[in-house]
């Protein structure tokens, strides 16, 4: 029982970290793109 929980934690933790980094990267890219468009639109 305890071994299964530890094994699941070691399998899921890297997946959660990778997913968080991927989503954070997409969010930063989206923010930079929208920020750049807003600055270019200003006269």
- Domain spans of the chain? 1-42
- pLDDT computed for residue 39 by the predictor: 54
User: Structure tokens of 43?
Assistant: 């006269």
Q: How far apart are CA 29 and CA 16, in angstroms?
A: 20
φ, ψ of residue 42 in degrees (nearest 5):
-75, 140
pLDDT digits (tens, 9 = 90+) for 8-43: 999 999 999 999 999 999 999 888 888 765 555 555
Q: How far apart are CA 37 and CA 10, in angstroms?
A: 42
- pLDDT computed for residue 40 by the predictor: 54
pTM above 0.85, yes or no: no
């Amino acid at each position: 029982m305890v071994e299964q929980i530890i094994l699941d934690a070691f399998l899921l933790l890297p997946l959660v970290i990778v997913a968080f980094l991927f989503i954070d990267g997409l969010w930063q890219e989206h923010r930079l793109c929208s920020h750049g468009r807003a600055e270019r639109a200003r006269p």
